[in-house]
């Protein structure tokens, strides 16, 4: 049994854990530590904080899942100000072997390796994800992550994408109002502006404007909390509308990627919505693709329930690249 550090860095949180890797490639995660990105000036200071929490020493191998593009000499995050220079990882972190992947590339690795009992039914036929074909993976959080994987038996390949930045396509007059509101600030409105945690604010404010209601300026956390608890009818309506938009986007992603073998919803916010999505208008919107309604109805839609798919998937990507690290 050997060990690696696995890290999942998003816009708001950086999650760290020690992963144990058996000789057959089986991965077991230790208890994760969650740090706030805004509390640390850089990834290196966050790493030092984690190292101190772990008693002052860490394994000399690291797997990193990053919310943003990972190519090039300098990695810039989409939704936080940190920078990472991969070539300096051996020097700065003391890890001569490392793997750096997009965060939803890591989630797709987790989807490929997770057992069937770690997926929850959301929509479509209640059957397993395909073992021979393409599976689309997406999830809302601080942004909207998108990836896909192709597999045939035990073999699979993962492709990271920036599908969260395709254009938002309204389907009714309420979404027209949401788009009009966003266009006042953004020349081009991507789906991430709506189908992400912060996007609930514009949905909420647009619904208030439609009803000619004056509402206080409250942040996304307050709206999600009130909406999920049913404490505010307008916030609850915004959450319902979010589920509709997520269904539309998930269907578009499946069409674009050929994800006819299944669609998997992931992300911290996706997990919070696990009880609501199957009862919402998600499924109807997912299928609402005109001449392709029938095809969309054949696609199983699942939600991954693994507690840390980014950490698990980053470790899986490391094992795929390097094999099992040595003791």
Q: Contacts from 72-78 at CB under 8 Å and sequence distance 24+?
A: 75/100, 77/9, 77/11, 78/11, 78/143
CB contact at 8 A, 150 and 112: no
Phi, psi of 173 (to 5 degrees): -70, -25
11 is in an annotated binding site: yes
60 is in an annotated binding site: no
Q: For residues 235 and 284, what is the distance between their CA atoms, to the nearest angstrom?
A: 21
CB contact at 8 A, 35 and 49: yes
12 is in an annotated binding site: yes
Q: What sections of 62-172 are H helices per DSSP?
A: 89-93, 103-113
CB contact at 8 A, 286 and 297: no
9 is in an annotated binding site: yes
Residue 269: other Cβ atoms inside 10 A = 22
Angle between helices 173-183 and 199-210 (to 10 degrees): 120
- The dihedral built from the CA positions of residue 222, 39, 103 and 25, taken in this order, carries a sign that is negative
Token pair belonging to 79:
């939704």
The size of the chain, in residues, is: 327
> Binding site for ATP: residue ranges?
7-12
> Binding site: residue ranges?
7-12
């Amino acid at each position: 049994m050997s060990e690696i550090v696995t890290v999942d860095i998003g816009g708001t949180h950086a999650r760290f854990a020690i992963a144990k890797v058996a000789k057959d490639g089986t991965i077991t995660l230790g208890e994760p530590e969650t740090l706030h990105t805004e509390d640390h000036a850089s990834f290196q200071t966050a790493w030092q904080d984690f190292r101190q929490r772990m008693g002052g020493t860490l394994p000399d191998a690291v797997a990193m899942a990053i919310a943003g593009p990972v190519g090039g000499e300098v990695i810039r995050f989409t939704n936080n100000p940190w920078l990472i220079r991969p070539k300096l990882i051996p020097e700065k972190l003391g890890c001569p072997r490392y793997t750096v992947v997009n965060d939803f590339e890591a989630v797709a690795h987790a989807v490929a390796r997770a057992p069937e009992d770690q997926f929850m039914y959301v929509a479509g036929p209640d059957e397993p994800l395909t073992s021979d074909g393409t599976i689309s993976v997406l999830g809302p959080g601080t942004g909207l992550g998108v990836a896909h994987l192709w597999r045939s038996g035990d073999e699979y390949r993962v492709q990271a994408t920036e599908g969260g930045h395709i254009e938002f396509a309204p389907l009714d007059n309420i979404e027209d109002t949401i788009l009009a509101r966003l266009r006042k600030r953004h020349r081009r409105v991507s789906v991430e502006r709506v189908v992400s945690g912060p996007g609930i604010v514009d949905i909420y404010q647009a619904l208030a404007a439609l009803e000619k209601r004056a509402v206080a300026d409250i942040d996304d956390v307050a709206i999600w909390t009130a909406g999920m608890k049913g404490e505010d009818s307008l916030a609850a309506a915004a959450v319902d509308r979010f589920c509709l938009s997520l269904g539309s986007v998930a269907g578009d992603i499946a069409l674009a990627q050929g994800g006819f073998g299944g669609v998997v919803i992931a992300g911290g916010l996706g997990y919070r919505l696990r009880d609501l999505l199957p009862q919402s208008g998600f499924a109807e919107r997912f299928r609402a693709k005109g001449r392709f309604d029938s095809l969309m109805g054949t696609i199983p839609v699942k939600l991954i329930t693994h507690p840390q798919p980014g950490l698990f998937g980053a470790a899986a990507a490391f094992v795929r690249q390097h094999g099992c690290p040595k003791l």
